[in-house]
Structure 1
């Protein structure tokens, strides 16, 4: 997103986009809209994490192999293909340094959890990069300086707001705001799984909104939580939110005092740190759990990971969330309910809706108990169940005791059920019509007509006594 707007308006548009997106995020916070943005199951989260881990790891191929000057493509997969087609340009020294740093981080992790290996790898890499850059050793290594030029510790840059506001800029700011909220809440949710804590959604949204405004004022680009940095922080031993504040203080100190030295950090060492972080992000126990208990959820996780890598992380999470909601709706459409069969004023059997088709004797009085919600999702399933009631049954009691929500489609389905049953010559009674469903039903003519005929009762027991 940022690249598109930087190419269209110039990089000086980015601070303005940061401020505008921050204002939109604060608007979301004030209106409490963040609760509607993220309804994502753990299977999708794990798939997203796996996909991001692959992106982080594979995205370091050029640095790990010491390759430079390759053509850059818009799509991630195209860049990987470009790298693989130019393997002959790999730098042996960079490969050795990457392998050594990565292996050291893996080994160090086994012996020291509280002291992150990055603290050792980074200064050592800076020293090696300095010696290489100054020609003290006969090894040619790409460094942050050779890639990005001189790194300044200047913290303040007055942004240029000399722009004509148009629809495109506002749409861009809203898009960035949405992505920032999604990525921030996803990072927080994934961090919860790593630390077994619980984040505060409201504070996360407020924080990212304020951060974007502050970033724009200082001439920076739009900000969002970054899963890679979050995971690195946690995997380095952080176990409290204060670590983020401490991290910001150290970043300020490094920017003011030590940042000029970081220009000597070899890109191969940076790649080793990021690949190590990517490996640590993926916890196989989650996928083993899905494999044992819900293979469809495992398939969804892998699908999200593939879409995340091949297409885009946000597309991956949206595809996963959409499929998860459709699966949930499909499961909810199965109208499970309790049905009691009575004959000669005696209970003869209790069954569920799945057993109704295979039960021959439905008795002379059948009680059909709705449970949970009656909505457009499961209304047709209830209608199908009612249609299965055979001719032996003379009276059907529809009980609403355990129904806690009903939409307009659900209300319409009740009228249809009554019509189906009366069309078969059966008497229909309604019982335990609680306050949640009584108000809309009392506005319906067919319901008032049933009441006038004495077919609406306060309880199912009262209805049974009248049979």
Structure 2
């Protein structure tokens, strides 16, 4: 039986840790620390708290998540997804309420891990994830318009449409200098990578823009004019807690825990694909929980796995949790010795960085791709998106999951009522007689959000051991966008390893969805056969040609 809590760092140290890998982890950790600096400050400010709280979260939570987590390369800290939630909790319950909610969320996450709920990620449909991620991105973009335009507005409405109404009615207050700073920040953040990818554009933008603003004396709002000095120390503090009011914080705590759990495990799954690894989901949840219990006592805000920073870690050579720990130490060093300079950063510069973050979060390519798919997936996507933007993130996720379940039942009923599909012959049903090098995997049942992860994991296992893989789909009544997303990912990985992939017995309605989902950009149409014996013959011929 697998250990319930087994941090990856312990495994790395037990297996042996070389000086060469430490050098790579050291470099990656320092780079990620520099990348995290502007993001930590920007996320904190956008959430309605002081800048140092973002730095403290990246330092304390980032260190704990790396040391105790179930992923080799996960980087933890504040993320854009939490901006909307943190801001809302602050408005309703105040700072103490946010601290208590975060601590309770940590205990929820620990409980999720202890109850082995890590695998529940597979029950979150892809259109739902894209819908609420895109919705959050639009909300973040909307919150930054005030600082991007340099508008001096004291009382901003919380509703999405009301915010835009306020912006349009106050355009006469626009500060041209702030707008220029925002545009310049965006351009540097986006295009500096054409010069070098070693130093993040957002960091360069902050340094250059802040220096110019201070030297020229431009009339724009800065962190100092809005928040005052940034403390350069980390101290322990205990929130005042009235146990009779504890029940008030259960709902926001559960929201933080659910979103944190989903985002951290999604990030871990993405990083697995980048390094060819396997994270320990329950260990990761427990580590995320511990981080969220501890961090608020030092003045931090909710933390989770950060996909962009995790990807940066991998791309720069980080392969063990040591790089994540070094990222936290790098930020601590910057805060202790250079934190005083951070107060000079213009608010419009932070707005520019967050506008770029919101664009990268938007997943607009996935959004457009799903809009080309089935009506069921489009409905889940749009309902989740509009509820996230116009109502509430928690409500959007709840409705999205219920709607996904109802639509799944509808699709199954339709499949049962219309069983028409091409008959796949049963030639050579005994797979032990197959030529060596050919792998077979038969999918029986709908390839949808609840089964996609399991099917894809097994496909990858068989495909990487074979020279040719035939995927039999005669018993697949439908495939949803989550299944298609996972199938494309695993086919890409298998084919990159040199394995040829064939499909057999694909039903006409499934074929149509595969076509819409652009699977045939990965698998040639000639390798999609109506019957298994045809696929087997073609696979055997391909093996002979390889041998020659």
TM-score range, shorter chain: 0.5 to 0.7
Distance 1:329 1:278 in 2: 34
| Pick aligned residue for 1:98 from 182, 186, 189 | 182
Could you say if the C-alpha distance between residues 372 and 303 of structure 1 is closer, same or farther in structure 2, counting changes exceeding 3 Å?
closer
Aligned residues: 335
1:109 aligns with 2:189: no
Contact 2:121 2:262 in 1 (8 A): no
Q: 1:314 to 1:110 in 2, by over 3 A?
A: farther
Unaligned runs of 5+ in 2: 1-84, 422-443, 447-474, 476-548
Among 275, 281, 291, which residue is 1:211 paired with?
291
Does residue 73 (structure 1) correspond to residue 157 (structure 2)? The answer is yes
Q: In the alignment, is the contact (CA less than 8 A) between 1:64 and 1:94 conserved in 2?
A: yes
Q: Distance in 1 between matches of 2:119 and 2:189?
A: 39
- 1:1-31 deviation line (CA, Å, top 9, x unaligned): 7667767775345444433432333223222
Corresponding residue to 1:258 among 331, 338, 363: 338
Residues 220 and 346, structure 2, Cα contact 8 Å, conserved in 1 = yes
> Residues of 1 paired with 2:295 and 2:408: CA distance?
40
Check if 1:181 corresponds to 2:258. Answer: yes
- Aligned partners of 1:235 and 1:48: how far apart in 2? 23
Distance 2:310 2:219 in 1: 31
| Correspondence for 1:159 among 238, 245, 255 | 238
Measure how far apart 1:36 and its partner are.
4.7
State the shift of 1:263 in Å. Answer: 0.5
The counterpart of 1:308, out of the listed 384, 388, 410, is: 388
Q: Point out the more displaced range, 250-259 or 198-207.
A: 198-207
Q: CA deviation at 1:231?
A: 3.1
Residue by residue, what CA displacement relative to the aligned partner does 1:399-455 show, whole Å, maximum 9, x if unpaired? xxx9xxxxxxxxxxxxxxxxxxxxxxxxxxxxxxxxxxxxxxxxxxxxxxxxxxxxx
Aligned counterpart, 1:143: 222
- Indicate the SS of the match to 1:261: helix
Distance 1:207 1:303 in 2: 32
Instruction: Answer yes or no: is the 8 Å Cα contact 1:53–1:279 preserved in 2.
Output: yes
Q: Could you tell me which residue of structure 2 aligns to residue 278 of structure 1?
A: 358
Structure 1 runs (4+) deviating above 6 angstroms are none
Name the TM-score, length of structure 1 as normaliser: 0.63
Q: Does 1:51 align with 2:130?
A: no
> What is the rounded CA distance, in whole Å, between the counterparts of 2:91 and 2:364 in structure 1?
40
RMSD: 3.3
Aligned position for 2:507: none
Deviation per CA, 1:241-283, whole angstroms, max 9, x where unpaired? 7454343222222222221110001111111111112222334
Report what 2:399 is aligned to. 319
Match of 1:267 in 2: 347
Write the distance in 1 (CA, Å) between the matches of 2:249 and 2:142.
Answer: 28
> How has the CA–CA distance of structure 1 residues 15 and 284 changed in structure 2, closer, same or farther, with 3 Å as cutoff?
closer
Structure 2 residue 102 is matched with structure 1 residue 25: no
Please report the TM-score for the alignment, with normalisation by the length of structure 2: 0.54
Equivalent residues in 2 for 1:282-361, closer than 5 Å: 282-334=362-414, 336=416
Normalized per residue, the structure richer in helix is 2
Change (3 A) 1:11 1:175: closer
CA contact (8 A) 1:44 1:317 kept: yes
- Distance verdict in 2 for CA 1:270–1:305, change over 3 Å: same
DSSP 3-state at the match of 2:108: helix
